[in-house]
Amino acid sequence: MMPTTTPELNLEANSLSTPTGAAPQKTASQRPMFYEFKPEETVKAAHGTTLRCKTWEAEAALRMLENNLDPAVSLVYDELIVYGGAGRAARNWKEYQVIVKTLKELEADETMLVQSGKAVGVLKTWLHAPRVLIANSNIVPAWSTQEYFDELDRMGLMMYGQMTAGSWIYIATQGILQGTYETFAAMADQHFGGTLRGTITVTAGLGGMSGAQPLAVTMNDGVCLVIEPIDERVKQKMREGYVDEQARNLTHALEVCEQAKAAGKAWAVGLTGNAATVLPQLLALGFNAEIVTDQTSAHDLMDYIPEGDITEVLALRAANPEAFKKQALASIVKHVEAILEMQRHGTIAVDYGNNLRGQAEKGGLTVRDSTGQFLYPGFVPAYIRPLFCEGKGPFRWAALSGDPADILRIDRALLETFPDNKLLARWIEKAQAKVPFIGLPARVCWLGYGEREQFGLVINDLVARGEVSAPIVIGRDHLDCGSVASPNRETEGMKDGSDAVADWPLLNALANCASGADWVSLHNGGGVGIGNSTHSGMVIVATGTPEKAERLKRVLTTDPGMGIFRHADAGYELAQDVARERGAKIPGLK
């Protein structure tokens, strides 16, 4: 809630909080956070059917914003950081309060404009227009560097929105879990006869997104050793069920992993340590994993934790950012050198989209072959692109009621709607058994062109009949089939060489506005860092009305349709075949 009296703004009094909750004095290098505006009560999403806003669409945006910041969901609550290093939900606490107030006052035919976490205008539009339009971190291309962004950030003029942090559709680690599950399932199919049973995957990172990897491996029946420098994050992922056991040390970790592998047991082991240190140790011991990957936060050097005593390293980050970044880059080079050496020893190496290879290249390491291709591939070109060609991607929904029973009812409807999809049935079974609801209950599921529209109408009908107790928010990750240009991740190695063409996410955002989405976002840099990607997000709320059913049909056809258009245009025959079979209209396609 707003303070009872408006405080005098004194930027010199603002401060950044530390992990212990203490608030040191603001320095010239720190962004203004306006802590005097932080709500007295901890932010958590409202539940139930009582509206604080004038429409369910605005209420949904408010609840999803609150859900992003819920301490059970967010990475650093005091700084409004949701995940991905510094991905924020709002620019600062003052602007958060303004956004909340504006959403509560927003009329049914008005649209709020949000510029990098700050509400900057309200427009009179239409009942079927988006209630919120969001742009985060976008900079004119020649200026779109991490250094220039950091300066704007320090001045309080911009924030990093990551992907779903600044677009208010983050659903904690589950949000990326099925995509990670699908990736490891594809690896199992290609390399191990359809299962990861009897294999060990080595990876690193247990933040909000990277925590998905150990559970995705075990859901595919494999063993995972995951390395994380912050001990509390290992413990948190154990509490949440993403990690099964915390190792005492490296020797203990390898003993547990080898025993589980021999027994064909699915098991995830968390090891407190630094990947740049541990991977070379594994090589020295002659340990050969079947798979090696990584999902530490590496897109911004300030978010990658280098080797050394963790307390000293974090102190260096606060006291001398430039020295910290040099150490981070040196550790990244060691990290990637070790991955490449493991690959030479027969381990399957795959990049999981955090720009680790790109940073190592900046550090002077050779990461490409003579043709310019990366020495080990990204997960999209290696395993996921055929799904993108079918318009598939991480479709998700959240229960505004806060009642897990609503998600379980939708799970049942999902299996009834697609009874022949065995992989989907396996996912739902395992998700119900192993994936905790964190914040607002939610589910993620990879559905393709035609399927999303079909199931969106099923959800809307459940709301209309009262079989779920409140409207359902339907959205997706920005990592989707037609919503992102990211040459080091989603669009790496496109068939026609169009990796860096950013027209597609721009068209995606425009098309979703034209089709009637409830809020639409357009970001720079998510996943791989400022200047390295452009991507858009879409959300629509199933309210149970006939009018919303019509909009759901349009939006949930338009949005994955962009994936068909994008990949068909790039020359992928699978996407062209899907377009013909499912009636996606592409001028010039015979």
Cα–Cα distance, 555 to 559 (Å, whole number): 6
| 409, amino acid identity | R
| 411, amino acid identity | D
Q: What is the pLDDT of residues 256-287, one digit of tens each?
A: 999 999 999 999 999 999 999 999 999 999 99
Cα–Cα distance, 166 to 172 (Å, whole number): 14
Q: Are strands 200-204 and 223-228 parallel, antiparallel or unpaired?
A: parallel
CB 413 within 8 A of CB 485: no
Which two three-digit tokens encode residue 55?
């429409």
239 carries a ligand binding annotation: no
Cα 205 off chain centre by: 14
Specify the 3-state DSSP secondary structure of 484.
strand
Cα–Cα distance, 527 to 354 (Å, whole number): 6
Residues in the chain: 590
What is the DSSP annotation of 315-331?
HHHHH-HHHHHHHHHHH
83 carries a ligand binding annotation: no
Q: What is the pLDDT of residues 421-442, one digit of tens each?
A: 988 898 899 899 988 899 999 9
pTM of the model: 0.86
Residues 6+ apart with CB under 8 A from 497: none
Rounded mean pLDDT of the chain? 92
Cite the active site residues. Answer: 445
- What pLDDT score does 82 carry? 95
Q: What is the pLDDT of residues 189-203, one digit of tens each?
A: 999 999 999 999 999
248 carries a ligand binding annotation: no
193 carries a ligand binding annotation: no
Q: Where are the alpha helices (DSSP H) in 345-446?
A: 356-362, 379, 385-389, 404-417, 422-434
Q: Which of 35-49, 200-214, 342-356 has the highest mean pLDDT?
A: 35-49
- What pLDDT score does 84 carry? 81
Span 151-172, average pLDDT:
95
Among the listed residues 169, 205, 220, the one whose alpha carbon sits nearest the alpha carbon of residue 479: 169
Among the listed residues 127, 136, 33, 120, the one whose alpha carbon sits nearest the alpha carbon of residue 84: 136
- What pLDDT score does 209 carry? 63
